Amino acid sequence: MSEVVQALDKSSRTRRRAWWWAVAALIGVVVVGVAVWVRNTSQADVPPPIPSEPVIPAPGKSQPPTPAPDDAADEVYRAAAHTGHVRTLTFDRASTGLFSGGDDGRVVWHDLKERKVHRTMSMPPAVTAVAVAGSRLMIGTANGQVRIWSLDGPQPKEVHGFVRHKGAVTVFAASPDGTFAVSGDGEEAHVWNLVGQPKTGPLPQTAGPVLAAHFRADRPEFATVVGRVGLLPAEVWQWKLSTTKEGLKEYHPQGVARPKESAGATAFAVSDRVMFAVVGDKVFGWEFGSGQAVGIYQGHPRAVRHLSVAGSADVVVTADDAEVHVWDAKNLTRRWKGRRLGVTAVGVSDDGLRIAVGTEAGEVLVFQTSK
Neighbour-count burial for 333-369, b at 16+ CB within 10 Å, e otherwise: bbbbbbebeebbbbbbbbbbbbbbbbbbebbbbbbeb
The residue extents of the domains of the chain are 1-47, 56-368
Sign of CA pseudo-dihedral 189, 194, 200, 204: negative
**Calpha distance 313→63 (Å, rounded):** 21
Residue 155 phi, psi (nearest 5)? -130, 135
User: For residue 35, which amino acid is it?
Assistant: A
User: For residue 92, which amino acid is it?
Assistant: D
Report the 10 Å Cβ neighbour count for 210.
Answer: 26
Neighbour-count burial for 126-139, b at 16+ CB within 10 Å, e otherwise: bbbbbbbbbebbbb
**Calpha distance 166→188 (Å, rounded):** 8
Q: What is the Cα 136 distance to its own chain's centre?
A: 25
pLDDT of res. 172: 92
Dump pLDDT digits (tens) for 138-160: 999 999 999 999 998 888 999 98
pTM of the model: 0.78
pLDDT of res. 131: 95
pLDDT of res. 20: 58
Q: Average pLDDT per run of 10 along the chain, which is 371 residues long? A: 42 54 59 50 38 34 36 81 96 94 96 95 91 93 93 88 87 91 87 87 73 90 82 82 84 83 84 89 86 84 92 85 86 78 92 93 91 58
Would you mind telling me the total number of residues written for the chain in this entry? 371
pLDDT of res. 263: 79
Dump pLDDT digits (tens) for 338-366: 877 799 999 999 888 999 999 999 999 99
pLDDT of res. 81: 95
pLDDT of res. 3: 46
Neighbour-count burial for 270-292, b at 16+ CB within 10 Å, e otherwise: bbbbbbbbbbeebbbbbbbeeee
The CATH architecture one would assign to domain 56-368 is 7 Propeller (2.130)
Nearest CA-CA partner of 85 in 348, 353, 343: 343
Contacts of 185 (CB under 8 A, 6+ apart): 140, 144, 165, 166, 167, 168, 169, 170, 171, 209
Nearest CA-CA partner of 98 in 90, 106, 86: 90
pLDDT of res. 345: 96
**Calpha distance 180→369 (Å, rounded):** 31
Contacts of 240 (CB under 8 A, 6+ apart): 220, 221, 251, 252, 254
- The distance in angstroms from the start CA to the end CA of the chain is 96
Do the beta carbons of residue 359 and residue 344 sit within 8 Å? Answer: yes
pLDDT of res. 110: 97
**Calpha distance 227→10 (Å, rounded):** 101
